[in-house]
Amino acid sequence: MNTKKLKSFEYAGKVHSAGDELKGLHRQEIFNASFGHVMVVVATEGRDEKQEELAGIVAERMRYYMDHADDEQVEDIPTSALKYSNGYLCQLAKKDLSYAPSRISCLCLLNHENTLYYAWVGDQVCMALWDGKKIHHLLTYGSDAARALPEKPEAAQPLAFLGQDPRLSPQSAEIPLKPLSGDSLLLGTGSICQYLSGKDVRKVMQDSMPLQTKLLRIMGLCEKQASQASASLMMISFYQLNHARRVFMPGKEKNKGGTPRDVSSSAGKPTQRKKGLIHPVRSHLLKYAMIVLAGVLVGYMVYDLFIFDPKPPVRLPAPSPAETSDTIVDASEEALEELDVPPPFPEDELYTVRGGDTWSRIYRQYQVCSWFIINHPRNTGSFGREGSLIAGQQLRIPVRYSGDPELNPYYYQEFTIAEVGSGCENVDQEFLDAFHEQYEPQ
């Protein structure tokens, strides 16, 4: 398994080979080019030495093109790289028929300044986005199966597989992907694509385990459910991004018959509402209902801001003379300057666990690593097995260990992701003792 952690993302990749007698070869590549980081996944239905060599040639040609691309729009680079690799395979097959490719699929993803541009060919690749709650399919399995050719030969489109026709036109996303911090991207080939929508996969993604552990769990599910099929999976987790909102072009879901549909090139464009679909009476009722709802909201806001007082004033007794007398401390300016007392730690915040809560959701709200919450003495007995959350339990969140400068203004730099790790892997009792020894007043 390949893993690496970079400035704004980390990734893990693994290829599962079910056996020499089965069809399917898979290859993964990730490298840095002049325009940014590039991820390439390749799959071929053939399983002999020639097809394995061709899969390697595709990855090699993609890297070569990315290293030499210039004077080109960034969004066109993945498509151009696939066209170049396709032409190379076609020329290779003309010289030697033994290099005829067997339905090679490929997905190319370019991360340029934290914006992802991608293009693909073939029906053995898929891609999905995990936003912390839901899996969004950007490229569905079987999306590029052989298309029916039109009557006019000059308008014919070739089969969408690498190396089979020099006229190949790869598909590409019209809207580039802009993820948010905490999002994960799943790039799959082969049988893994059939299981990315399963409940077991969503359950694994909701857990706060490290990225490589999640990948091994999902690959284990695939091997268990389809032990006689080969597959590969690459997972990319993003952090420290400055995007204001998430932007992506979703792929189409499968139809009722279970046959994958093609990803529409018009996805993401606004659709026009047809006239005459709403009855006039219903239109008026809807209008009045919206007016009434707006009035209720305005009334509630006025009541909440100016009338309702959850904390009535409490009359306090007047302070005694002893309490109001000034205390004079005779100390020199030099002594006061040498006095260095760390700022006080912020108080714990109360949080009641809700149904469906995850450690990731709690971290996004408080930026406190789950290890500190689980090992907080005041939370003893508030968790299930292996530190799982229990709905209804009231937890104390020690924001003194938060990486949020608003919640922990004096010590937040000690608890950023770079310090504690994206999966709390850098945190232990020794880490905690070192912090308190440095900042707690002696």
pLDDT tens column, 243-270 = 889 998 877 544 333 333 333 333 334 3
Helix, strand, coil % over all residues of the chain, rounded to 5 = 35, 20, 45
> How many other C-beta atoms are found inside a 10 Å radius of the C-beta of residue 124?
29
> Are 41 and 48 contacting, i.e. CB atoms less than 8 angstroms apart?
no
Can you tell me the distance from the alpha carbon of 145 to that of 124, in angstroms, rounded to the nearest whole number? 9
Instruction: Supply the pLDDT for residue 156.
Output: 39
Q: Is the pLDDT of residue 146 over 90?
A: no
Indicate the pLDDT class of residue 152, thresholds 50, 70 and 90.
Answer: very low
Provide the whole-model pTM: 0.55
Query: Mean pLDDT, to the nearest integer, of 98-121?
Result: 90
Domain positions in the chain are 2-238, 343-439
3-state secondary structure of 134: coil
Which pairs count as long-range contacts for 72-75, CB under 8 Å and 24+ apart, including other chains?
74/35, 74/110, 74/112, 74/117, 75/117, 75/172, 75/176
In this structure, the dihedral spanned by the alpha carbons of residues 226, 227, 229 and 232, taken in order and rounded to 10 degrees, is 90
Quick one: pLDDT band at residue 373, thresholds 50, 70, 90?
very high
CATH 3.60.40.10 is right for the domain spanning 2-238: yes
> 143 to each of 42, 84, 125, 161, how far by Cα in Å?
15, 22, 8, 12
User: Which residues does 183 contact at the CB level (< 8 Å), separation at least 6?
Assistant: 129, 130, 131, 132, 237, 238, 246
402, 366 contact by CB (below 8 A):
yes
Task: Compute the distance between CA of residue 424 and CA of residue 375 in angstroms, rounded to an integer.
Answer: 13
Give the pLDDT mean for 218-245: 84
Contact 51, 42 (CB under 8 A): no
Angle (CA) 115-118-124 rounded to 5° is: 140
Q: How many residues does the chain have?
A: 442
Six-digit token pair at 83? 């066209």
Query: Which residue blocks in 107-206 are alpha helix, DSSP H?
Result: 199-206
Q: Work out the number of other CB atoms within 10 angstroms of the CB of residue 426.
A: 14
Provide the pLDDT confidence category of residue 353 given band limits of 50, 70 and 90.
very high
Predicted confidence band of residue 194 (pLDDT cuts 50, 70, 90): confident
Q: What angle do the packed helices 49-68 and 77-95 form, to 10 degrees? A: 140
Place 365 in a pLDDT band, splitting at 50, 70 and 90: very high
Tokens found for residue 101? 């490719």
SS3 288: helix
